[in-house]
Copies of this chain bind each other. A is one copy, B any other.
Amino acid sequence: MPSSDPSTTPAEAGRRIQQAFSPDNLRELTHRLADVLGRHMESAQSSSGNVLNWNEPPENCRLASEFLDSASPLQSDAQPLADRFEAVATQMLARGHNLHDPRYIGHQVPASVPLAGLFDAIGSVTNQVMAVYEMGPWATAVERSLVDRIGQAIGFESGTFAGLVTHGGTLGNMTGLLTARNVALGDAWETGMNASEGAPVLVAQGDSHYSISRTAGMIGIGTRNVLRVGLDERRRMDPTQLDETLTRLRKRGTPIVAVCACACATPIGAFDPLPEIAEVCQRHEVWLHVDAAHGGAACLSDKYRHLIAGLELADSVVADAHKMMFVPALCAFVFYKNREHRFEAFRQDAPYLFDPSSPGPAEYDSGMLTPECTKRAASYGLWGVWSLFGQQLFSDMVDQTFDLGRVFYEKLIDSPDFEPLHEPQCNIVAFQYIPDALRVAPPEELNRFLLKLRHDLIRSGEFYIVQAKIDGKQALRVTIINPLTTADHLDALMDAIRRTGQQVLAH
């Protein structure tokens, strides 16, 4: 077990602290970082290495642990410190995942605007946080300015809505649904779910993200009390079936926490028909929550905002900036149509924290609104990039990547050995590669083949794509969430899939 060094003296401790906090060292190492990051970004964008640097988990853990042991507790001056820093930084980059390689066409995690990371760095180096306004006056202001801007772009009416930023879409869905639970069930926050009469239910889109059932597990509803509404032929929630479900539940007197719709659902990127769903919810007086983690950014695009028409009718909405606004994780927005609901998720009493001399209900204290108490300045990256390039850049990136989803679909249609599993509405496309040899094979054989194909492809470092299972069919799945990816890369992807597939078949 590592232990502190008994031979160290107070003077050495002082020098060590001075080195760690020295402004000169900070300046020197940041200059080093500039060159290391510049080189790395050039290499990634030009595909000069692997997309994913695969290594077995125990081996990576061993390497990470070795670095902890090989530190030198006291540097003689700044120069060896900068060298050590460069070695550590280089290792981190060499072992990571290159999302900025245009052949990264994978999860709903973007090749983020690199400059966003520099604004985040300003928050990290100076440790700007929120919870109470006075701890993060500018962090709070930045978040509020973006909540206003994006909320209005969604279509909420200025002055009547509220919003917040939290660490990811899962926590965003949890926050929105916690508000719905507390509104629907009255005093569940204080008395617990045990006191509720009848088992309350969540009604969810059949393909809704696992964070919806996770939320049900977390907030005391129970995963078995998530009722799935049937989908139409494009895997969108069917408003007629929703109406029938709500009618049946109301007749039985079952408490309904909320309806969860998607914009879009993860498997194939299906956008639910929100105006029709909102109408059904309003008629049954049920809270409508929309998980627009992926698609919410369409509000910034003239070309694609039609996909989220009706989003402004939802009672709560989640939209992740760290997806289609192309900023680094994590920066998820939650909106409430009615600002009166903003304090319903959490109810606070922390006398050491919230100054009772503050005006009103701590209107600017983010800790009242979010699951985090101390919260980092999570929207510095988005605010900074917006302040550099304006809203137009976000619109450009949505348009380009959504357009390319269509292009890929057409390529798949034109290729007899590929089969798209749906017509894409955005930049998510699920498909199968079916070589001649497996055209008449049992479905399980094709499924196993595709899993193995993806496994081999991503570990080769040539491309990064993901997988999904849709109606029992094993799919290959791409999210074109890298603005540097072009149609040519998609052609190359198809070739690489063919080649890898043939290798799998050969073994």
Contact A92 B346 (CB under 8 A): no
One of B8, B26, B96 near A137 (C-beta < 8 A) = B96
Report B-chain residues with C-beta under 8 Å of the C-beta of A405. none
Given A71-B388, A141-B64: A127 and B16 within 8 A (CB)? no
Closest B residue by C-beta to A139: B96
Looking at the complex, which of A188-196, A235-243, A275-283, A406-414 is the stretch in contact with chain B?
A188-196
Contact A199 B210 (CB under 8 A): no
Which A153-198 residues have C-beta < 8 A from chain B? 153, 167-171, 174, 178, 188-196, 198
Contact A57 B27 (CB under 8 A): no
Interface residues on A, range: 35 or more
Tell me the minimal C-beta distance from A307 to chain B in angstroms. 15
Which A455-470 residues have C-beta < 8 A from chain B? 455, 458, 466-469
Query: Which of A53, A97, A355, A466 gathers most chain B CB within 10 Å?
Result: A97
Which A209-224 residues have C-beta < 8 A from chain B? 209-211, 213-214, 216-224
Question: Is A390 an interface residue, CB under 8 A from the partner?
Answer: yes
Contact A57 B5 (CB under 8 A): no
Report B-chain residues with C-beta under 8 Å of the C-beta of A34. 26-28, 30-31, 33-34
Report B-chain residues with C-beta under 8 Å of the C-beta of A123. 92, 117, 328
One of B1, B4, B372, B392 near A302 (C-beta < 8 A) = B4
Contact B125 A37 (CB under 8 A): yes
Which A357-407 residues have C-beta < 8 A from chain B? 357, 363-364, 371-376, 380-381, 383-393, 395-397, 399-400
Contact B222 A189 (CB under 8 A): yes
18 cross-chain CB contacts under 8 A: A4-B395, A17-B396, A28-B34, A30-B31, A61-B145, A73-B390, A89-B384, A96-B128, A117-B121, A167-B375, A171-B371, A191-B199, A195-B199, A213-B349, A220-B221, A329-B374, A329-B375, A352-B466
Query: Which of A42, A63, A118 gathers most chain B CB within 10 Å?
Result: A118
